[in-house]
């Protein structure tokens, strides 16, 4: 069974600053994928960034990057130059290979302060 843990229920950051959201996971699979999803207030959940476990290089998408520490089973999300539109719930998620089920963490509510 997979588990995903997000230990920061709420965070805040000043506009233009950098913030890091933590996520740890546990899986017995050797091949798996990790995701960060964003759910803005009253809007649909969308993918922010994803990482394949067998790739050493950390994924980046514009201002979003991850710090993937496979041995520690850690997958944190760094948001640089935070913008007001980054205010949202952020969910860390994982799934294994071709298996259809995705396991989500409980989410971190991020508030960007002007």
**Site of interaction with another protein (CB under 8 A):** 6, 9, 31-33, 35, 37, 43-47, 50, 52, 91, 95-102, 104-107
CA end-to-end span of the chain, whole Å?
41
As measured in angstroms, the least distance from the Cβ of 86 to another protein is: 18
∠ Cα 2 34 78 (to 5°): 125
Which CB, 68 or 91, lies closer to another protein?
91
As measured in angstroms, the least distance from the Cβ of 13 to another protein is: 21
∠ Cα 99 3 91 (to 5°): 90
Which CB, 15 or 52, lies closer to another protein?
52
Angstrom distance (rounded) from CA 52 to CA 63: 19
Structure tokens at 2: 């997979």
Which CB, 43 or 62, lies closer to another protein?
43
As measured in angstroms, the least distance from the Cβ of 108 to another protein is: 10
Which CB, 100 or 114, lies closer to another protein?
100
Integer angstrom CA distances of residue 104 from 3, 36, 80, 82: 8, 9, 23, 24
As measured in angstroms, the least distance from the Cβ of 44 to another protein is: 5
């Amino acid at each position: 069974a997979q588990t995903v843990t997000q230990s920061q229920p709420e965070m805040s950051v000043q506009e233009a600053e950098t913030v890091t959201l933590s996520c740890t996971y546990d899986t017995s699979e050797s091949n798996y994928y990790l995701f960060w999803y964003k759910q803005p207030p009253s809007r649909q959940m969308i993918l922010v960034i994803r990482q394949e476990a067998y790739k050493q290089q950390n994924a980046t998408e514009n201002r979003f990057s991850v710090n993937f520490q496979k041995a520690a089973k850690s997958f944190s999300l760094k948001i640089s130059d935070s913008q007001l539109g980054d205010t949202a719930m952020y969910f860390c998620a994982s799934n294994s290979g071709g298996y259809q089920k995705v396991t989500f963490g409980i989410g971190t509510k991020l508030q960007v302060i002007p």
